Amino acid sequence: MIYNEEFETLPREVLEALQFKRLQQVLQRVYHTVGFYRRTFDAAGVRPDDIKTLADLSRLPFTSKQDLRENYPFGLFAVPMSSVVRLHASSGTTGRSTVVGYTKRDIDTWSELMARCFVAAGLTKNDIIHNAYGYGLFTGGLGAHYGAERLGASVIPMSGGNTKRQIMILQDFGPTAICCTPSYALNLAEQGRAMGVDMRSLRLRVGIFGAEPWSDQMRDQLEDQLAIQALNIYGLSEVMGPGVAMECSEGREGMHIFEDHFIVETIDPETGAILPPGEEGEIVFTTLSKEAFPLIRYRTRDVARLITAPCRCGRSHVRMGRIMGRSDDMLIIRGVNVFPSQIEAVLVGIEGLEPHYQLVVDREGTLDTLEVQVEVSERTFANADEVKVLQKMERRIVKDIKDYLGVSARVKLVEPKSLQRFEGKASRVTDRRKL
Ligand code: AMP
Ligand code: ZN
């Protein structure tokens, strides 16, 4: 089944003609309404009129997360605040998270794209959808919610947490589909079993999992433990939120990118050169229909490859494979985006520590864990025969990381000069999660 048969199956040439028409409109709009784009286009010596084909897009500069931060909070909005009906922000950053805005029509488009995702997963208005993505500033909860309502399905707005209650609702309300992060789904399965619930005999049929990287091995586990079909959904707040791309239940190999609303490119993260389809590279999006917060050539830092082969579901939109990694060092820990540099910023603000640290990310059972190992200074070390002093420091670091970044970490203070030193690029992260 296809939600928007007309737009999801457009023949390539018609789709590209539509993309080009929409691209011209959005370029004119951002050039005339957003100072940032006028400056960067001018600096590159390109005006919207110079873009005469889709391929000309490559003449325009990229937009980065840094650009978003520098224009925090609303500097890149292309409409007045009176037209903005919703704000969201991406997780895990300090004051300068990235803030995104939506007009009424943006919410409408987003809802449709999420509805397309649900239909791609085989759902109809007769389904009951248990939505355990977080509601709030994070785009996951409300994004999926509106899509489910658009489809006409019955949505249970669970949000995250309160796992025992979630398991009760899964048993009592009998939802046929669940949306959450794949790690939380495993967590639910595990806790359910611990409560003596036969998690395979629930009415759940489909899981729509995303917001963090996962693997085919994890898919097998989820499908086995919950007796469901587990499908991958992709999105990021900057570009819209969940629903930028979705795997179809027929193909199950790669997620269709809704190309009538986004242009996708893969680039070499070092040189910025465009790669031929099929090669692994950094994914770059240009939004074609967004009003409040259009983005031109936004570098996602997500690394994947595009799949151009036709899909048996009949959708003509290109697919992207699983996210293979990131071209920056962002970690996703229990759904929260964390940059090592943010942890560093917390550590250097605390007296008695050295700027030598190591982050160890692991997964215990189904939960991500973060351990921060940091050296204490010679002086602290010399004066710290009192264990209490060090314990107090550890507690302070744990609290600051929690307060500023929203993640719980374990902190281990180590002797001066005991951590590895680097000659080139420092590699401060050990990720032991087998995803
Ligand atoms: P946020 O803007 O907080 O929703 O975070 C978006 C980021 O989450 C993306 O840039 C990806 O790195 C990650 N992400 C979202 N969906 C997936 C997915 N299906 N697989 C892997 N990573 C994902
Ligand atoms: Zn398909």
Give the residue with greater pLDDT, 280 vs 325.
Answer: 280
Does 380 score more than 50 pLDDT? Answer: yes
User: What is the pLDDT confidence band of residue 154, given thresholds at 50, 70 and 90?
Assistant: very high
Label residue 78 exposed, middle or buried (CB < 10 Å: 0-12, 13-18, 19+).
buried
Ligand nearest to the CA of 331: 1
CATH topology of domain 331-434: GMP Synthetase; Chain A, domain 3 (3.30.300)
Q: How far apart are CA 207 and CA 191, in angstroms?
A: 17
Q: How far apart are CA 32 and CA 37, in angstroms?
A: 8
pLDDT of residue 425: 57
Over residues 308-329, mean pLDDT? 93
Which of the listed CATH numbers 3.40.50.12780, 1.10.287.990, 3.40.50.150, 3.40.50.720 matches domain 1-324?
3.40.50.12780
Q: Closest Cα to atom 15, ligand 1: which residue?
A: 211
Ligand nearest to the CA of 243: 1
pLDDT of residue 424: 58
Mutate to test the pocket of ligand 1, among 184, 302, 319, 322 (most ligand atoms within 8 A of CB): 302
pLDDT of residue 434: 72
Q: How far apart are CA 175 and CA 19, in angstroms?
A: 37
Cα 154 to middle of ligand 2, angstroms: 25
Cα 241 to middle of ligand 1, angstroms: 9
Does 31 score more than 80 pLDDT? Answer: yes
Give the residue with greater pLDDT, 40 vs 218.
Answer: 40
Over residues 264-269, mean pLDDT? 96
Cα 355 to middle of ligand 1, angstroms: 29
Over residues 36-49, mean pLDDT? 98
Does 378 score more than 50 pLDDT? Answer: yes
User: What is the pLDDT confidence band of residue 386, given thresholds at 50, 70 and 90?
Assistant: confident
pLDDT of residue 93: 46
Q: What is the pLDDT of residues 69-121, one digit of tens each?
A: 999 999 999 999 999 999 999 865 444 678 999 999 999 999 999 999 999 99
Record the tokens describing residue 283, joined without a space: 């994914």
Over residues 289-306, mean pLDDT? 97
- If DSSP states are collapsed to H, E and C, what string results for the chain? CCCCHHHHCCCHHHHHHHHHHHHHHHHHHHHHHCHHHHHHHHHHCCCHHHCCCHHHHHHCCCECHHHHHHCCCCCCCCCCHHHCCEEEECCCCCCCCCEEEECHHHHHHHHHHHHHHHHHCCCCCCCEEEECCCCCCCHHHHHHHHHHHHHCCEEECCCCCCHHHHHHHHHHCCCCEEEECHHHHHHHHHHHHHCCCCHHHCCCCEEEEECCCCCHHHHHHHHHHHCCEEEEEEEECCCCEEEEEEECCCCCCCEEECCCCEEEEEECCCCCCECCCCCCEEEEEEECCCCCCCCCCEEEEEEECEECCCCCCCCCCCEECCCCEECCCCEEECCEEECHHHHHHHHHCCCCEEEEEEEEEEEECCEEEEEEEEEECHHHHHHCCCHHHHHHHHHHHHHHHHHHHCCCCEEEEECCCCCCCCCCCCCCEEECCCC
Q: Which residues lie with the beta carbon below 6 Å from any ligand 1 atom?
A: 90-91, 139, 210-213, 232-237, 300, 302, 323, 337
Cα 121 to middle of ligand 2, angstroms: 10
Poorest-pLDDT segment among 8-22, 307-321, 345-359:
345-359
pLDDT of residue 422: 76
The backbone torsions φ and ψ at residue 179, rounded to the nearest 5 degrees and listed phi first, read -120, 125
Is the Cβ–Cβ distance between 274 and 58 less than 8 Å?
Answer: yes
pLDDT of residue 295: 98
Over residues 174-200, mean pLDDT? 94
> Mean pLDDT, the chain, as a whole number?
93
Q: In this prediction, what percent of the chain has a pLDDT beyond 90?
A: 77
Ligand nearest to the CA of 249: 2
Q: Closest Cα to atom 6, ligand 1: which residue?
A: 236
Domain ranges of the chain: 1-324, 331-434
